[in-house]
């Protein structure tokens, strides 16, 4: 009986080892999704982030010609890094982001396998020893619309027939919100409180934000003057804007083809308007209100406090300090 038990343990060990050796990047990502959905293993990654992770994994797997995660080596990471640098098609920052993505997923796998994925590095992964390419931070002005360009875009939007093209540029220009936070808005997300109107940027039911927290952002007076609230009132219940996950791409294409057809230097609207709006917040808006309105985290536990009507009314007062683009 003892001999049989020992033999069974050896078989079980072999099965476990084989299971880790056959483990793929995709299986690790799926397990990470499962764990975070249960409230384990940190915050849930947004759908867009997971798409980027999977695209990066595909590139790495294609380079090393293997999907197995347990066989990844430091030398493979160095070879991939050097190949991307030599090719010269990607910026050093982008290459660094790709390497960091693979390093993060290797870490997930090591945690999921309780340190047995890379047994010779029980508290780390091969990519922990990988030297990252250095890069200089670009000037934020290069990713920000000038006032002239911003005004031209908003003026052009007035003649757009598609609701997304008509209103989303105006919304992100005067809220600093990300495009994918606005494309999913429904009529019920626009509400009034004591004469002030708000966008409810929600989390849940397939909707998410970068900080995984919802917020209510005041509707800027420029939008009200432009007729946005009247337009919302005339819409049927449900989604305000057409399209789905690719609606932000359609907006970018419209801007490139119709608004700036002869320009190759234009930043995407997400960055172009968001950075411009954040500069407008220098008009005496408090730091707390600025972080809340733009959906940024201060890293403080105070981020989770409040949420009352009183705070919303005070934030509306702060929004009144922000200038109109036109």
Q: Do 254 and 160 form a contact (C-beta atoms < 8 A)?
A: yes
Q: State both tokens at 273.
A: 């308007």
Q: State both tokens at 285.
A: 């808006």
- Does residue 3 have a pLDDT over 80? no
Residue 301 banded pLDDT, cuts 50, 70, 90? low
% pLDDT > 90, the chain: 72
- Does residue 218 have a pLDDT over 70? yes
pLDDT score, position 264: 86
For residues 117 and 204, state if they share a domain.
no
pLDDT score, position 67: 96
DSSP 204: B
Final residue before a domain boundary, out of 129, 163, 189: 129
CATH no. for residue 251? 1.10.443.10
**What would the pLDDT profile of 251-273 be if each residue is shown by its tens digit?**
999 999 999 998 988 888 888 99
Final residue before a domain boundary, out of 129, 154, 171: 129
For residues 46 and 124, state if they share a domain.
yes
**What would the pLDDT profile of 116-135 be if each residue is shown by its tens digit?**
999 989 889 999 999 999 87
User: How would you classify the pairing of strands 196-201 and 215-218?
Assistant: antiparallel
For residues 36 and 183, state if they share a domain.
no
> In sequence order, what DSSP letters do the residues of 206-227 get, joined into one string?
TB--TTS--EEEEPPHHHHHHT
Question: Which range is least confidently modeled, 2-11, 164-173, 197-206, 221-230?
Answer: 2-11
Mean pLDDT score of the chain: 89
- Does residue 4 have a pLDDT over 60? no
For residues 122 and 168, state if they share a domain.
no
CA atoms within 13 A on the CB side of 167: 22
Final residue before a domain boundary, out of 70, 99, 129: 129
């Amino acid at each position: 009986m003892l001999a049989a038990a020992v033999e069974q343990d050896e078989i079980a060990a072999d099965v476990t080892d084989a299971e880790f050796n056959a483990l793929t990047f995709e299986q690790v990502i799926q397990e990470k999704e499962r764990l975070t959905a249960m409230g384990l293993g940190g915050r849930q990654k947004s759908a867009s982030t997971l798409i980027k992770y999977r695209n990066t994994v595909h590139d790495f797997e294609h380079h090393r010609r293997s999907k197995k995660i347990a066989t990844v080596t430091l030398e493979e990471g160095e070879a991939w890094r050097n190949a991307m640098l030599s090719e010269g098609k990607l910026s050093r920052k982008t290459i660094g982001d790709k390497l960091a993505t693979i390093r993060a997923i290797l870490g997930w796998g090591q945690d999921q396998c309780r340190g047995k994925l890379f047994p010779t590095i029980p508290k780390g992964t091969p990519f922990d020893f990988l030297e990252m390419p250095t890069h200089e931070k670009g000037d934020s002005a290069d990713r920000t619309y000038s006032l002239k360009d911003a005004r031209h875009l908003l003026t052009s939007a007035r003649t757009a027939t598609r609701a997304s093209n008509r209103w989303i540029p105006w919304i992100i220009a005067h809220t600093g919100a990300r495009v994918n936070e606005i494309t999913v808005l429904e009529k019920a997300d626009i509400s009034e409180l004591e004469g002030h109107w708000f966008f409810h940027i929600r989390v849940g039911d397939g909707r998410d934000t970068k900080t995984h927290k919802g917020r209510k952002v005041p509707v800027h007076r420029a939008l009200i003057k432009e007729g946005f609230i009247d337009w919302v009132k005339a819409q049927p219940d449900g989604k305000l804007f057409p399209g789905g996950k690719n609606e932000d791409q359609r907006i970018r294409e419209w801007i490139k083809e119709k608004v700036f057809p002869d320009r190759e230097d234009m930043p995407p609207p997400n960055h172009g308007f968001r950075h411009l709006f954040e500069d407008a917040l220098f008009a005496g808006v408090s730091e707390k209100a600025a972080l809340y309105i733009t959906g940024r985290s201060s890293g403080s536990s105070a981020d989770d406090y409040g949420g009352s009507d009183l705070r919303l009314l005070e934030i509306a007062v702060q929004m009144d300090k922000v200038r109109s683009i036109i």
